[in-house]
Amino acid sequence: MKKKRHHIWKNIMIMAVVFLVASGSSIILQKTGVHEHITAIFIFAVFLTSILTDGYIYGIVSALVGTLAVNYAYTYPFYALDFRFQSNMISAVVMMAIAVLTGMLTTQVKTHEAIKVESEKERMRANLLRAVSHDIRTPLTTIYGASTTLLESGENYTKEQRIKILKGIQEDSDWLMRMVENLLSITRIDEGKIKIIKTPTVLDELIDSVMVKFHKRYPQQEVYLDLPEDIIIIPMDAILIEQVIFNLLENAVLHADGMTELILKVFVLGKQVVFEVSDNGCGIEKERLNGIFNGSYHLFEGRTASSDSKKHNSGIGLSVCQTIVKAHDGAITAENNPVGGAVFRFSLNIEEMKESE
């Protein structure tokens, strides 16, 4: 309701501003004795209003107002409505025709664009669903097979073997839980169910929290940190940004084959803080770079399935990263490092906290 009211006031303001400018210009022309272009100015004002506002009503109202204004103030007899002259009637008809035709055209264009955007969203949802279904099948099969084995013939295995099987079930279950959390983050933010509330967050505390969680999950993977010496405070939703950094680090662990070095670097660039996760692994195939954040890039490149469920995450983690960063009015990119490996980089604005936040 508030959004609809906002659009109405926005359209009214556009119409008012356009006609104030048209009226001011006409007054100037009238004082200089140039009357013949005044009608053209109001016709152009009707055209602009029809383009810049939604639907037909504002264009038609502007045509009526313009017709009355020209007839009353700028044509003979002045300051009196008189439609007996043919030129006055022609002006009125032209303005109405422009308003209706322009309104029809802009409405069709906006409708077409809305349909196009919605179709693209549906395509992305379908690709995401196919990707998730494709990759979830493997850990589910593993969990089902392992649990069935323990139930049917667990007594035939040693204690160490049973513990190993149970750890496998635990790891795959944990992977599935994180997949679901990532999916929920995407859908909630896209549907506006999560409101990004930014609070001042100290950079060092943010990184410490991420590292604790990351090392708990990947105790063998060392991360080299390169952080500013100064205390940096960034307005953000700390929980969501933690998820972004964790996902980027995890992505390197899962996909950067041959990696021996993983670096998390943070630096200030102007009014932005830039987070950079780089590795010296296998890098990203050039044809996959453009679609790496869409949640299912590997399905379009003929990537074959792997028996190791840990090597699959459908790019969902990267899609989550893009969704969260965009919700923070930031930007995220991916590229190959010239010396080898990949670099993921995202930036957040260092902005003053507003009361609305």
d(CA 212, CA 199): 21
Higher-confidence position of 226 and 137: 226
d(CA 320, CA 184): 9
Render pLDDT for 147-200 as a digit per residue (tens, 0 to 9). 998 888 888 888 888 898 898 888 888 778 877 776 776 666 665 555 677 899
Classify strands 262-269 and 224-226 as parallel, antiparallel or unpaired: parallel
Report the largest interatomic distance among the alpha carbons of the chain, rounded to a whole angstrom.
107
What is the mean pLDDT of the segment spanning 319-336? Answer: 88
Q: Phi and psi of 76, rounded to 5°? A: -75, 140
Render pLDDT for 285-302 as a digit per residue (tens, 0 to 9). 887 887 788 754 443 333
User: SS3 for 233-262, per residue?
Assistant: EEEECHHHHHHHHHHHHHHHHHHCCCCCCE
Could you tell me the strand order of the sheet in which 331-336 lies? 224-226, 262-269, 272-279, 342-349, 331-336
3-class DSSP assignment, residue 354: coil
Domain 197-349 has CATH 3.30.210.10: no
Q: Write down the pTM of the prediction.
A: 0.56
- Sketch the domain layout of the chain as residue ranges: 2-117, 197-349
The per-residue pLDDT of the chain, averaged, comes to 78
pLDDT at residue 252 is higher than 70: yes
Render pLDDT for 48-60 as a digit per residue (tens, 0 to 9). 777 887 777 777 7
